[in-house]
Structure 1
Amino acid sequence: MKILSPRVHGYIDYAVAALFLLAPSLFGFGGLPETLCYVLGVVHAGMTLLTAFPLGAAKLVPFPVHGGLEAAVGVFLVAAPWLFNFDEVAAARNFFLATGVAVGLVWLITDYRSAYASTAAGARYRPEDRSFS
């Protein structure tokens, strides 16, 4: 069931980026999990800014591609504690597991095609691109 609009998804994306950037301070973990959070926060914010949907600034990345990357990130987040050997750091492990599940749920309920269709239709005709030769 695709109940999440592209606009609401955009708000969630910016909130997730902020959460990644704040998580090490909020939940008290450091080291590699902290670094991963900072990298993920910056990358997530950047991807959101570049996505072709209502809250994207540059609109370079098609929204369905954004969705595919988020699906991969959700899986990565769930696996990260074991991939990077911080599964015994409870705060970091639990944060990554919860965030991975949340990103996966957002991916499941977002309508990625509606934003793509509206963006693609809007991008087909731009009066400023017309040539009068």
Structure 2
Amino acid sequence: MRFIPTRFHGILDYVVGILLIAAPWLFDFAEVEAAKWVAIIAGVVVLLQTIMTDFEVGIIRKIPMQSHLMMDFGLGVILALSPWLFGFNEQVYLPHLIIGVFSILASLTTHRVPSQSYVKAHPSHERVD
């Protein structure tokens, strides 16, 4: 069931991207190099992807919303598993796991196409939901 509007998803992406970049210092794991860099790189990827997605809050608008959601799902899986994949689970795992699962859930519950008003203003879109 998809109930999250794409505009809201985009705003959340900007917040989550910034949160991921700041997470090592906010949640006191900056000294764990692998954990720090996974969070920072994931945050940069989230921000770049959001900037480049063709939806209400995108700037460059080259990535279709469906592709954005598939990338969110993949990034969420990698982020959630990263403490065990990269061996820092003994020092820190909750921020990566929580934000990863959040990303997976958001990808599965967000509309696949931007709002009707956005679609009308950009006629190349088809309503799929």
Task: Give the TM-score taking structure 1 as reference length.
Answer: 0.84
> Counterpart of 1:15 in structure 2: which amino acid?
V
Aligned residue number for residue 38 of structure 2: 36
> Counterpart of 2:103 in structure 1: which amino acid?
V
Q: Take 1:87 and 1:120, find their aligned partners in 2: how far apart are those partners?
A: 47
With over 3 angstroms needed to count, the CA separation of the structure-2 counterparts of 1:119 and 1:61, relative to structure 1, is farther
Q: Secondary structure at the match of 1:61?
A: coil
Unaligned runs of 5+ in 2: 125-129
Shift of 1:88: 0.4
Greater Rg over alpha carbons, structure: 1
Aligned residue number for residue 95 of structure 2: 95
TM-superposition CA deviations, 1:55-92 (whole Å, max 9, x none): 00010000100000001111111211111000101xx3
Shift of 1:116: 8.7
Q: Secondary structure at the match of 1:104?
A: helix
Q: Which is richer in helix?
A: 1
1:81 maps to 2:83: yes
Contact 1:62 1:116 in 2 (8 A): no
Q: Take 1:54 and 1:12, find their aligned partners in 2: how far apart are those partners?
A: 12
Q: Take 1:22 and 1:15, find their aligned partners in 2: how far apart are those partners?
A: 11
Aligned residue number for residue 56 of structure 1: 58
Query: Over aligned residues, Cα RMSD in angstroms?
Result: 1.9
Q: Take 2:82 and 2:58, find their aligned partners in 1: how far apart are those partners?
A: 27
TM-superposition CA deviations, 1:75-113 (whole Å, max 9, x none): 111211111000101xx311111111111111121011x
Unaligned runs of 5+ in 1: 125-133
Q: Take 2:115 and 2:68, find their aligned partners in 1: how far apart are those partners?
A: 10
> Counterpart of 2:110 in structure 1: which amino acid?
T
Could you list the runs of 4 or more consecutive aligned residues of structure 1 that deviate by over 6 angstroms after TM superposition? none
Q: Take 1:87 and 1:40, find their aligned partners in 2: how far apart are those partners?
A: 17
Q: Take 1:76 and 1:58, find their aligned partners in 2: how far apart are those partners?
A: 25
Shift of 1:122: 1.8
Give the length in aligned residue pairs.
Answer: 121
Shift of 1:37: 1.3
